[in-house]
Each structure stands twice: as C-alpha cells, then as structure tokens.
Structure 1
Amino acid sequence: MARPDKVAAVEEIAQNFRGASASVVTEYRGLTMSQLTTLRRSLGDGATYRVAKNTLVKRAAEDAGVDGLEQLLVGPTAITFITGEPVDAAKALRDFAKANQGLVIKGGYMDGRALTVAEVNQLADLESREVLLSKLAGAMKGTMAKAAGLFAAPASQVARLAQALADKQAAGAEADTTEAPADAES
C-alpha cells in the first residue's frame, strides 16, 4: 500500500510537469543549503527548483506523460520546473553550474521530448525573448523604411522627369527668343 505522503509528492511533481513549459534535471551533489538557496533565487519567479527521489520522479513523469527522463534519474536528482521563459532559467542554471562544480546539468524536457545536456546549453546560449523581439522589430522597421522608399521612388521620378521637361521647354523657349531677333535683323 502506498504511503499518503509519497502519493501526494508524486501528484505534486506530476502537476509541476504538466504546468511547466520545460524542465531541467540536475545533480546537486556537494552543494550546501545556502548554495541551493542562491540557485533558487537566481532562477527567479518563473522556475522552481525541487529536490526529489528518483522513484517518485519516475512515477510522476509517467503520470504526466513525460517520456525520456528515466536515464537521467540516477544519483541525487533535482528538477527545475520552468513556467516562465526557458532561456532565462537555462542561463541561470548554466551560469550557476560554471561557478559551482557541485551542480551538474544532466538534461531536460521541453516541447514533448527529452533534451540532452548540449541542447540545454544551446537553449542557454539563445538571447532572451525581449532581445529577440526587439531585433525583429528593428528588422521590420528597416524593411518598412525600404518599402516606403520604393513606393515613393516612382512619384519622385515622375516629378524629376516633369521638372526636366519643363527645364528643357524653358531652355527651348529661350533659344527661340534669342534666335528670333537675329532672324529679324537679317
């Protein structure tokens, strides 16, 4: 018979899996409680870092429909459940792991599939959502400026052509007036 506290823990972890946009599995061997607290703070509000028993995580992942994490659940395991921006949390974990050798990123889960350590690091290398959106807006603004220039070009060409014709007619009229008196004298 399953103990009620373990059933509750499995259900809580399964709910975390269901509500997360991504999750990252880590090993935390050798980290102190103060280091874990620092890590949790660096993750911000969009992520929770939870230490859990591997057997409970396996059952919760199965309940939540998360496949591919079984091979990652070896040794002391903690999972970061990311509800906010995955890039920010992956960066925080990577940076913390660089500064603290006790934290080892084992892999993750996002968009219905397991992630390797390299894929988690690639996710951390991406720029934040805000930076990417501002770059997109800048590119769109540049494209719009080019389009406006292209749309205005035919009108300005017609105006220059009309001015050139007017200048040519004016020059022709001047030539006629200067030639007419010469013809009259002969």
Structure 2
Amino acid sequence: MARAEKTTAVAEIVDSFNASAGAVLTEYRGLTVKQLQDLRRSLGENANYAVVKNTLAKLAANEAGISGVDDLLTGPTAIAFINGDVVEAAKGLRDFAKANPTLVIKGGFLDGAVLDAKEVAKLADLESREVLLGKLAGAMLASLSQAVYLLNAPLAQAARLAGALQAKAEQDPTILAGGAGVPAAAEEPPAVEAAAADEAPAEEASEDAAPAAETTDEAAADETTESTDA
C-alpha cells in the first residue's frame, strides 16, 4: 500500500472512531461475502461494519486517543462502528454470531473504556433505549397522575363544602350572618317612647276621676235644697 493510500485509510478509520458512540471488534474469518452483506443490513443505521487492517487500525486508534485495543487487533478484523443505539448494535452482532458461529466478537470500546467479549455480551442483554424510554415515560405519567390527583382532591372537597353551605344558606339565610338559625334580638324602643307609654295611663285615670267629682257636687246641692225647704 502506498504511503498516500495508507494515510488516507488511517484518516478514515480515525474519523470513524471519533464519529461513533462506540465500536465492537470482530473476527470474520470464514464468513462469505453474502454473509457480510447480510450482517451489514441487519445492523442498519445502528452501525457501520468495515473490514480493516490491524496495523492501520492500531495507528488510527492511537491517533484517536483510544488505548488498550491493540490486543484485540489480531487475526482478520472487522469493526462495527456504532452510530445509533449501542445496545441494539450489540444485540444485532450477538444474534448474528449465534446464527453464524464463524463471526467471533473479540471485544469493544465504549465511553473511553475497553470492553472484552463478555462485557459486550452483557451490553447486548440490556434493554434497548426505546424500551427504557418507554418505561421512564410510563413511570413519569404515573407520578404525574398521582400528583394531579393529590392536587385536585382538596379542591374537590372544598367545592363540595361550598355547595353544602350554599344549600344550607338557601334554607336558612341567617346562617350567613352568623346567626346559625337563631333570630336576631329585637331592638329596645327609644327612652322617649317608653316614657310616653308610662304617662298615658295616668292621664286616662284623671279623665275618669272628673265625673266622680261632678257627682259629689250635685249631691251637696241637693242636700242644701232640702234644708231650705224644711
């Protein structure tokens, strides 16, 4: 390989390392061209599966600041540069390896850490991002429903209390004035009116006494007349 071609190839692998969320290194010995095509189709947008030369991959890893993968770069190597869901890509590689034992997962690289084959398998056993987001959304909706219920419950109770108070007030308006159904006490009459009420019987008694006096005078006059005639 010419130096220019080598430099270009290394730069492409560096770009793939930098642009990917992670990578899974595999040995593809024994896979046919058709099987490699099927594997790429099965990964879809989650990963870009590329056959690489170990020496170029080592140079690219060093330039990308990735260390610890040199031991994985032995034998025929193809790297799945993960662009989408890391878990889905790991599941796709695992399932394809089960159906095609000639594909061997050697390890990987994720978030600055090197993974061995067992750790990649554990990654494949995790739930996908969509499933986790669905569970998170369900939990959030459940919490939101509980919060709405707790907020609305006191308001509903207050509304029922207000309705009961309104119905009670329609039956007994004095309850709104604090009377609680007891009529308010009658106001006392003014002092002048009370005094006038006390004087009225005395005047009537004087008027009644006048005829009695007249009767006494008539009796005295009759006695005088009788004395003169005698």
Give your verdict on TM over 0.5.
Answer: yes
2:26 aligned residue: 26
Deviation per CA, 1:105-143: give whole Å up to 9, x if none. 111111111112222122212222222212211111111
Larger mean CA deviation between 95-104 and 114-123 belongs to 114-123
Counterpart-to-counterpart distance in 1, 2:150 and 2:51: 59
Deviation at 1:44, TM superposition (A): 0.4
Distance in structure 1 (CA, Å) of the matches to 2:15 and 2:152:
57
- The CA deviation at 1:160 is 5.6
Match of 2:81, as an amino acid? F
C-alpha distance in structure 2 between counterparts of 1:98 and 1:162, whole Å: 69
Aligned pair count reads 170
Offset, 1:84 = 1.5
What is the TM-score normalised by the length of structure 1?
Answer: 0.82
Q: Distance in 2 between matches of 1:71 and 1:167?
A: 85
C-alpha displacement of 1:166: 9.2
Quote the residue 2:190 is aligned against: none
Identity %: 59
Higher relative contact order (CA 8 A, sep 6+): 1
Q: Which whole-Å CA distance do the structure 1 matches of 2:142 and 2:19 have between them?
A: 38
Hey, what's the Cα distance between the residues in 2 that align with 1:7 and 1:25?
21
RMSD: 2.3
Alignment-derived partner of residue 39 in structure 2? 39
Q: Quote the residue 2:195 is aligned against.
A: none
Aligned to 1:51: 51
State yes or no: 1:14 paired with 2:14.
Answer: yes
Equivalence for 1:138? 138
Mark the structure with the bigger radius of gyration.
2
1:99 equivalent to 2:138? Answer no
Distance in structure 2 (CA, Å) of the matches to 1:162 and 1:11: 76
Quote the residue 1:181 is aligned against. none
> Counterpart of 1:61?
61
Q: Does 1:127 align with 2:160?
A: no
Separation (CA, whole Å) in 1 of partners of 2:56 and 2:16:
13
Question: Where do 1:171-182 residues align within 5 Å?
Answer: none
Residues in 2 aligned to 1:58 and 1:76: alpha-carbon distance in whole angstroms:
14
Deviation at 1:99, TM superposition (A): 0.5
After TM superposition, the structure 1 stretch with the greater mean CA deviation from structure 2, 110-119 or 32-41, is 110-119
Deviation for aligned residue 1:66: 0.9
Gaps in structure 2 of 5+ consecutive residues: 172-230
Three-state SS of the structure 2 residue aligned to 1:45 is helix
Residue 72 of structure 1, CA deviation: 0.7
Partners of 1:116 and 1:12 in 2: CA distance = 24
Distance 1:6 1:159 in 2: 79
Structure 1 segments of 4+ aligned residues over 3 angstroms from their partners = 156-168
Match of 1:85 in 2: 85
